[in-house]
Structure 1
Amino acid sequence: MVLLRLDSLGLSQSRFALSPFAETLSSMIVLSRPCTDPWLAAWHARHRAAFRARLDADPFTRGLVMLCSSTKYLPDHLVLPPPDGMGTTLESELVEVARVPDTAVHSSLVQSVAESWEDHGLDWLTGHAHGARTAELFREVWQEHVAADWPGRRALLERDVTYRAGLLAAHGWPRALHQMSRHSAWVGSDAIRFSARPGPDRVVGPDGMLFVPVSGPRGTWLCEAPGRPYALVYPARGAGGPQREGERRDPARSERPVARLIGAGRAAILRELERPATTSELAALLGQSLGTVGGHLAVLREAELLVGTRVGRRVVYRRTELGDLLADAGPGSGISAAEPT
């Protein structure tokens, strides 16, 4: 069992971050496998053939991607902590990856092969400038397969951060980290269990650590580099929606009675607030203007269907018990919204 040990100072300095590079790595792993998540099916179907063609055309790409998809130890040059918190850009990360020396890339790939559950060789690792080649690969995959979806994905990731920041403010880090991944958990008063596999514990310094959500449905990894905070990458809460639990929900059907009662726009917001969100997050998710969403939120607050809580500079909205009851008023619920007579 691997533990991340934090003292009170390190804990107080821990924070969230975003990593377009980690998002791209997660997407590559998803595209390298058959799709098993219904919510990803449309994106996977659009990009799978082109991505497979890339793998077939370039041994370096195929070797790296297939290794990452089947190892317990991701190569070190792919798990560098994001440098700029929530404002991290892909280019800032690619610059760091491109600088990694060939000897360091090779040694970490050897360890990744040793930790893989499939047989891999490194005959694809030819030539030189492995870090720069990796950076270029990630840039191209980002542009072709991720960038167009990034605004929506970023909204989802920021929503996860908002949700956990609210828990942090109200209950502290143990509650905020609850169910962050299948293997991570708070242990005692000063440690996070990162992995069930044997390995040395890590001691988090006074700069704290970073928590980095990605939209992939599974997979957790630790990012580390000398002189930098550790970063724990984890699947964002709610990335798959209800389908992650095997439920197939028809939003239009379940919202119809509520929409007739309070309007389609407000019904959509009420449904989205199954998970707390800010005005800007709701606007991005629903494709509406901030003014429109703000107006709907004001009406819903006045009707006591939701409440807002300030977290730092943002206001996070969540449904009240009455809002939960109304949002669940689909067919067969015993609650109906009859047409006025």
Structure 2
Amino acid sequence: MTLIRLGPDGLRASRFALSPLAETLSLLIALRCEIDRGRPGPEAQALAGWLDRDPFAAGLLRLVSATKFLPDFVAIPPSSMTTRIDDELARMRAVPDHVARATIAESRRFAWMPGGIAWADPDGVTTSAAAVFARGWQWFVEPDWPRRRAVMERDIRHRAGVLAAHGWRQAIDGIGKIRWAGPDAILFSTQTHADLSIGDEGLVLVPHTGTSGQWMCEAPPRFALVYPARGALEHLHVAAEGVAKLIGEGRARILAALADPTTSSQLAVLLGVSLGTVSGHLATLRDAGAVVGRRSGRAVYYERTSLGDALATHLG
């Protein structure tokens, strides 16, 4: 098994961050898996057409979607809540070709699908990789970034609240498949690899909006753990039946989205509707006793009551 070892200084310095690159990687892997399953949606079909025309992109995405060891240059630790995709891609391009090819070969050792790495032979490996992720960002992630960011920020706010009240053990609970394995260690994987020792720069926790997938980003002494956020985008769909028909699909979608406390502005972004529409639905749900608003600083966060929770369990 693989442990992440955190001493007191490492725990104190640990924090949350956002990564447009990690979000792009997560979505490209999900779309590539859709293609492999033979049931591609419109975005996966667009990706398939691109990969048919670009052997480098096809080889890279085949590898990262079928390995337990991501090449280091695609798994770059972010540092803050304001990380920019341009900065992450610049760091990717700065990795020398010989280093990139070495980590590609290591990644291939842990792949569970066949595939060569001849696509990585030409010069400019990381420049080409950065171009792949730049296009993936522009085509598939950037148009929906505000909504994706809202999901991730809501996850971080939830975990930060748990952290303040109970500490890191409870805040990390429910992140992917990891669990505490001792007073100073987190079990990251059941695979046998070298343990990771986190120093005084701490561990950076980075959510993404996919429903699964977690990985480490390593650039010692900096380490980041990427994990699926609570309330991922795929969970916001509500079938127009049962309780949803009774209370209305708009109000049902809001109840579904309130798995964690959320502001009206965040709900508008998450659901792709106007703030006025959200405010009207929230007023109705509040009057019915299904939601309640609680002020935190200058913002009001809405959450479900016990009645709201009961209704939400019956949403399709």
Q: Smaller-chain TM-score range? A: 0.7 to 0.9
Partner of 1:74, secondary structure, is coil
Compute the displacement of 1:149 (Å): 2.1
**Residue 237 of structure 1: aligned partner:** 230
* One-letter code aligned to 1:250: A
Q: How many residue pairs are counted as aligned between the two chains? A: 315
Q: Which moved more, 1:137-146 or 1:27-36?
A: 27-36
Determine whether 1:79 maps to 2:79.
Answer: no
CA contact (8 A) 1:256 1:330 kept: no
Compute the displacement of 1:280 (Å): 2.8
* One-letter code aligned to 1:144: W
**Residue 201 of structure 1: aligned partner:** 195
Compute the displacement of 1:145 (Å): 2.2
Q: Deviations over 1:144-169 (max 9, x none)?
A: 22222222222222222222223223
**Residue 19 of structure 2: aligned partner:** 19
CA distance in 1, matches of 2:35, 2:52: 19
Partner of 1:34, secondary structure, is helix
Which residue of 199, 205, 215 maps to 1:211? 205
CA contact (8 A) 1:257 1:329 kept: no
Partner of 2:180, secondary structure, is strand
Given the superposition, is the C-alpha separation of residues 23 and 138 from structure 1 closer, same or farther in structure 2, using an over 3 Å criterion? same
Compute the displacement of 1:236 (Å): 1.6
**What is the root-mean-square deviation in Å for CA atoms of aligned residues?**
2.9
Given the superposition, is the C-alpha separation of residues 328 and 194 from structure 1 closer, same or farther in structure 2, using an over 3 Å criterion? closer
Q: Deviations over 1:109-128 (max 9, x none)?
A: 11011111233322112321
CA distance in 2, matches of 1:28, 1:329: 32
Partner of 1:158, secondary structure, is helix
**Residue 29 of structure 2: aligned partner:** 29
CA contact (8 A) 2:214 2:226 kept: yes
Tell me the percent identity: 45
TM-score, normalized by length of structure 2? 0.87
CA distance in 1, matches of 2:297, 2:66: 40
Given the superposition, is the C-alpha separation of residues 328 and 123 from structure 1 closer, same or farther in structure 2, using an over 3 Å criterion? closer
Q: Which 5+ residue runs of structure 2 have no aligned equivalent?
A: none
Given the superposition, is the C-alpha separation of residues 63 and 253 from structure 1 closer, same or farther in structure 2, using an over 3 Å criterion? same
CA distance in 2, matches of 1:265, 1:48: 28
CA contact (8 A) 1:163 1:275 kept: yes
* Structure 1 residues 79-158: aligned runs within 5 Å: 79-83=75-79, 85-158=80-153
Given the superposition, is the C-alpha separation of residues 35 and 56 from structure 1 closer, same or farther in structure 2, using an over 3 Å criterion? closer
Given the superposition, is the C-alpha separation of residues 271 and 199 from structure 1 closer, same or farther in structure 2, using an over 3 Å criterion? closer
Q: Deviations over 1:164-204 (max 9, x none)?
A: 2232233222222122113x112222221111111121121
Compute the displacement of 1:79 (Å): 0.8
Compute the displacement of 1:258 (Å): 3.2
**Residue 335 of structure 1: aligned partner:** none
CA contact (8 A) 1:215 1:235 kept: yes
CA distance in 2, matches of 1:113, 1:3: 22
Q: Which 5+ residue runs of structure 1 have no aligned equivalent?
A: 332-341
* One-letter code aligned to 1:181: G
Which residue of 45, 70, 75 maps to 1:49? 45
TM-score, normalized by length of structure 1? 0.81
